[in-house]
Structure 1
Amino acid sequence: MRQRFRHFPQLNKTCVIMACLHFLLSFFTDRLIFLYVTWDFSDPKQTIKTILTCGCKMVFFLLLLLLWHGLWWFIKKADAGFRRYTLIYFAINLLLLVFTWPGIWRMDEFGIFSNAIRLQPVFWQNYLTSIFYIFSVMLVPTPAGVILVQIAINSLITGWVIRKMTVRLQKGKDRPQGDAKTVCLCYLPFLFFPVIDSNLYPMRMSVYAFLELLLIVLLYEEKEKSFRTAFLWKIAALGAVVTVWRTEAIYYLAAIPVLIVVLFCKSWTKKEKQKTILCYLFMTLFLFVPQQLGNQLTSGNEYDLTSVVLPVVPLVEEAAKHEDAKGILSKIDRVISVQTALEGAKENRSGISLYWSRRDEFVREYTDSDYRAFKHAYYRLVLKYPAVFLKERWDCFVHSTDLLENTTELFVKEGVPNYDTFRTYFGVKPVSDRLRTTVIRLLEWRKNGDQEQKRAGYGVVYSALPPILFLIAVCFALLRRKEWGKALLLATVLAKVPLIFLTAPSRLFMYYYSVYLIGYVLLIAGILGKRQRD
């Protein structure tokens, strides 16, 4: 029996004791922030909430066991370079979090947090985001706890990636740890203002981008190595999270199996590849089903609707000029008020602006049948007026540099429900509101005196276009050199760009953030690699 489990890691007694003590302490710290039902069986609703609480606490205990064993491994056994690079990046982000305490909070995250402290998922932003919030706040009972856990995860990934970069760059040299100049350059893309700003912003894309970077680098690093069961679980779990957490990443469902077949065609057997693919698909299905069911129950077609409201306004405006488009517009009008769309177009209002500010007028009560007819009519408008559609989409793409609400007003603006509620939470008072405002304006490349005024070069600093063009150029170069595996990896990252291009509901930087991060990391790695070869 012992022989059967010889590969399983042994539990460390000290770590188990610390996890147990931490778990018991959490019942007291939870009272500072959570509003969940602890022990109430008075009616079915309260009983379900009690069971949910018990389930969450049981999962939290398992996470604490992993956390304390992970800390022990990090301190005692982790590679010295990896540990050092991780701690440096964590220290930088922690200092900036203190300066901007409680971090950068803009819009959707207020609702996610409000539901998380009641153990309720928000499917609009994916239930995985809510799970991340819940356990982060159980660990650190304040809103900034979400950001603290986020920067810890991002720092671990950064440390690991930089360690891999320095090992490759210093291969065959006297200093395998990497010289100071090389290490500083490896840090560069992780210190760009948009990256630091995102690290302090508790939205799913902030940690998702790092997870996707980890997935790509992990696949690249392992492509010539023999099969290991540990790697199977890593790639299956990480791949499943990356696939499910963002809607536009659903193409990974096909991409990851293809990558496994291509990258490991020589080093793995057919059975090993099949086992990994099946494990990945099972985990993805396991995570995907709750999101689909929850989304249908809570928002129906609304999330999908937001992906078309931006181009639908100029398309409706153009169609209104042509008699032969009346039949199509009548189907559009079953879901979206054509009259309101035309009024919005005259006022230079975007579709997403009308959706959120005048929703009762803009969106009608509709059935699933109405929505199917609407989507069919929308596609007909796109095909009928492709120039109008592409012009709006291109304009949205090149101007996707925006950030959401002005977070510097969080502690000074009165009468905003989200702000008022947030200020009542435990541990949110900033160290200095003036310092917080100054640092945030610097990170968001705004002028000191006015958050609305962007500094010169903002359109470049917060643009994903340069790294996208770089990735496209490298991808073509790799194809020319017949390096199919590497080209496929880059093509996988780039595949989301046209999907976002076609469906982005607004001009926000965060939609392209993962491509921005991966692109610049690979750009720096490429520059350093070329310098080494020269």
Structure 2
Amino acid sequence: MKTPAKKRTAAELAAAVLWCALTLGTDRLFFRYDWRTPAFFVYKALFLVLAFGLVHGAVTLVQKLRAGDKFARRWVAWTLPYLAVNLVILLIVWPGIWGNDDLAVLYLARTLQPNSWQHFLTSGAFILSLMFVPMPGGVVLVQNLLISGIVGCFAATAQDLAEKRLTRPVRPAWFALVYLPFLLPPVLMHTQQPFRTTWSTWTELFLVFMLVAMYLRGTKLNKKELAAIVMLGTLAASWRSECVYYLAAIPVLLALLCARRLLRPLAVHDMRQPPGPHYKIWEGKRVPNGIYIQTEYHGKLIRKIVCNGDERWFIGSNCAVTFLSMDDCMAAIDRL
């Protein structure tokens, strides 16, 4: 029996609040802050948001694995081996490879103070990581988990795109080649270093990966993907001054997406189509009085039908159950 979405969200929020309350005790293992300062409430609020996201993500992942979602299974299958390699190396060099600048950030993090030289984002990443794992090595451990998840996403996406775009099937073992650049000794050692460059480089790399993957996928962007692009681009541009060009690149990118009609709402309507009984040209053919515009979301096809100006969305081929918008359709898929 499936739990209703609202009850599940409430349970996840309650778990996040409980986790945040527990940190009031575990923080004593590392922090020496004054809880009456504004910084305390700011970081606890951020921790609550991250804790809720982590709990929600874990529950969603388990549901997808039980439902047999291909991408979720591939992501786990590719993430765990690379994570195992990183954890073995971290165990050898525990608590990580630290430099003087990193130790300065760590020292100020104990009292929730930012380090301006290494950027306040680095201090924020340190403080929030230490609230999850309250020991100096906790920063590097959280860093290893995030990087391993990103590399697993690279491999899973490559396998997913190859399956959809290539006519001949490719053996899954070939996608282990994605590991090669990330198994080079300099990369593995860099993963154990809590430098600002480590956090900013992987943020930038993940942003570029998302853009390339979305381009190759060829389907329309949704609100979550657009928000992820803007957020990652802002972080990449802010974390290091060398990446400030992203502030100019993001508007140009959005303009290109609009021109290619991959960004909604411009992705839905073709304004060059003259009015008449035919709503849109689809693959070179005029569709009389209606059209199916399809995209893909979590492995499910979403189609749109337009009939006499009335628009409805449905999942797969089940046109008996329709939705008023694509967002409602995506929400229904999330509840599956």
The separation in 1 between residues aligned to 2:6 and 2:201, in whole angstroms, is 30
Amino acid at match of 2:138: G
Structure 1 segment 266-305 matched on structure 2, within 5 A: 266-268=260-262
Amino acid at match of 1:113: L
Q: What residue is the counterpart of 1:255 in the other structure?
A: 249
Q: How far apart are residue 241 of structure 1 and its match?
A: 0.5
1:210 matched to 2:210? The reply is no
Residue pairs, 1:73-472, within 5 angstroms: 73-77=60-64, 79-170=72-163, 171-174=166-169, 178-180=171-173, 182-223=174-215, 224-268=218-262
**What TM-score, normalized to structure 1?**
0.45
Deviation at 1:70, TM superposition (A): 1.4
Q: Distance in 2 between matches of 1:99 and 1:75?
A: 31
SS, match of residue 123 in structure 1: coil
Unaligned runs of 5+ in 2: 66-71, 268-336
Q: Residue 153 of structure 1: SS of its match in structure 2?
A: helix
Contact conserved, 2:200 with 2:236, CA < 8 A, in 1? yes
Q: Relative to 1, partners in 2 of residues 1:150 and 1:272: Cα closer, same or farther, differing over 3 Å?
A: farther
Higher-Rg structure is 1
Given that 1:225 and 1:267 are in contact with CA atoms closer than 8 Å, whether structure 2 keeps it comes out as no
SS in 2 for 1:102: coil
CA contact (8 A) 2:155 2:176 kept: no
**Distance in 2 between residues matched to 1:272 and 1:187, nearest whole Å:** 37
Which blocks of at least 5 consecutive residues in structure 1 are unaligned? Answer: 1-7, 40-49, 274-534
Q: Note the alpha carbon deviations across 1:381-413, whole angstroms, 9 max, x for none.
A: xxxxxxxxxxxxxxxxxxxxxxxxxxxxxxxxx
Higher strand share: 2
Alpha-carbon distance between aligned partners in 1 of 2:229 and 2:112, rounded to the nearest angstrom: 29
The TM-score with structure 2 as length reference comes to 0.70
CA deviations 1:422-477 (Å, max 9, x no partner) are xxxxxxxxxxxxxxxxxxxxxxxxxxxxxxxxxxxxxxxxxxxxxxxxxxxxxxxx
Give the drift of 1:271. Answer: 6.5
Q: Report runs of 4+ in structure 1 exceeding 6 Å deviation.
A: none
Matches of 2:263 and 2:207, distance apart in 1? 21
- Name the CA shift for 1:9/1:121 in 2 (closer, same or farther; >3 Å): farther
Fraction of identical pairs, as percent: 34
Partner of 1:68: 55
Aligned amino acid, residue 152 of structure 2: G
Give the helix-richer structure, 1 or 2: 1
Question: Which amino acid letter does the alignment assign opposite residue 249 of structure 1?
Answer: C
Q: Is the 8 A contact 1:82 1:163 kept in 2?
A: yes
**Stretch moving more, 203-212 or 73-82:** 73-82
CA distance in 2, matches of 1:263, 1:58: 34
For the 8 Å contact 2:19–2:51, the answer to whether it is kept is yes
Cα distance change, pair 9–77 in 1 and its aligned pair in 2 (3 A): farther
Question: What value does the CA root-mean-square deviation take over the aligned residues?
Answer: 2.2
CA distance in 2, matches of 1:203, 1:148: 13
In structure 2, C-alpha distance between the alignment counterparts of 1:95 and 1:76, rounded to whole Å: 29
Amino acid at match of 1:267: R
Contact residue 222 and residue 263 of structure 2 kept, 8 A:
no
Matched residue type, 1:194: P
Deviation at 1:11, TM superposition (A): 4.5
Paired letter, 1:135: L
Q: Is the 8 A contact 1:227 1:272 kept in 2?
A: no
Counterpart in the other structure of 1:330: none
Per the alignment, residue 22 of structure 1 pairs with 19
Contact 1:23 1:61 in 2 (8 A): yes
Whole-Å separation in 2 of the counterparts to 1:80 and 1:27? 35
Higher relative CO (CA 8 A, sep ≥ 6), structure 1 or 2? 1
The answer to whether the 8 Å contact 1:116/1:130 transfers is: yes
Say if 1:85 and 1:163, in contact at 8 Å, map to a contact too.
Answer: yes
Q: How many residues of Structure 1 are paired with residues of Structure 2 in the alignment?
A: 253
Amino acid at match of 1:228: N
The offset of 1:229, in angstroms, is: 1.1
